[in-house]
């Protein structure tokens, strides 16, 4: 009987460890997916590729640009008229924190926001907080 209890305990322990490892891998995978999505969105913005940028941003995006025109469309309208000499981009993401809540993720990070106007580059260190919602069963 003792041998059977030991085997049951070992099997139970292995199942718990396996389940925890699977859950941790799933969380890490979701976090990597979200960070790749953020980077792709920021890179699209840096190249003024508004079509690609738009695919990463919800139509109900909320920014300080919002007035009579919804934020997403206001931002796109503003960016369409920027001269080529004006560039706006982000550096590496730092101090990234991701919290998953079902199909929703809240992400915070720091990044340098660069402004290049005719070769004169300035930057500001920003804190970003974003909410991501899974669009499909396979992606945020």
Model confidence at 91, pLDDT cuts 50, 70, 90, reads: very high
Looking up tokens 């079509």 gives 51
Give the model's pLDDT for residue 20: 44
Q: Residues 25-32: what's their mean pLDDT?
A: 76
Give the model's pLDDT for residue 134: 82
The model's pLDDT over 109-137, given as tens digits with 9 standing for 90+, comes to 999 999 999 999 999 999 999 999 987 65
Give the model's pLDDT for residue 15: 47
* Distances in whole angstroms, Cα of residue 7 to Cα of each of 4, 16, 19: 5, 14, 18
Residue ranges of domains in the chain: 2-47+84-133
- Please tell me the number of Cα atoms within 13 Å of 132 on its side-chain side: 26
* Distances in whole angstroms, Cα of residue 108 to Cα of each of 36, 54, 127, 130, 132: 14, 21, 7, 6, 11
Q: Pull the structure tokens for residue 74.
A: 């206001």
Q: What is the CA radius of gyration of the chain?
A: 22
Give the model's pLDDT for residue 64: 82
**Exposed e or buried b per residue across 56-76, where buried means at least 16 C-beta atoms within 10 angstroms of its C-beta:** bbeeeeeeebeeeebbbebbb
Give the model's pLDDT for residue 78: 86
Q: Residues 82-110: what's their mean pLDDT?
A: 93
Classify burial at 38, counting beta carbons within 10 Å of its beta carbon; exposed 0-12, middle 13-18, buried 19 or more.
buried
Give the model's pLDDT for residue 138: 55
Give the model's pLDDT for residue 131: 93
Higher pLDDT, 35 or 3: 35
* Distances in whole angstroms, Cα of residue 51 to Cα of each of 7, 58, 129: 58, 13, 23
The model's pLDDT over 38-85, given as tens digits with 9 standing for 90+, comes to 999 999 999 999 999 999 998 888 888 778 888 888 888 888 888 889
């Amino acid at each position: 009987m003792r041998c059977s209890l030991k085997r049951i305990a070992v099997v139970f322990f292995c199942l718990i460890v396996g389940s925890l490892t699977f859950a941790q891998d799933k969380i890490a995978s979701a976090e990597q997916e979200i960070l790749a999505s953020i980077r792709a969105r920021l890179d699209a913005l840096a190249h003024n590729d508004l079509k690609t940028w738009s695919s990463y941003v919800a139509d109900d995006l909320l920014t300080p640009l919002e007035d009579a025109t919804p934020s997403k469309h206001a931002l796109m309208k503003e960016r369409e008229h920027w001269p080529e000499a004006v560039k706006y981009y982000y550096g590496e993401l730092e101090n990234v924190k991701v919290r998953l809540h079902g199909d929703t993720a809240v992400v915070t990070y720091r990044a340098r926001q660069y402004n290049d106007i005719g070769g004169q580059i300035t930057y500001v260190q920003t804190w970003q907080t974003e909410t991501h919602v899974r669009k499909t069963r396979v992606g945020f």
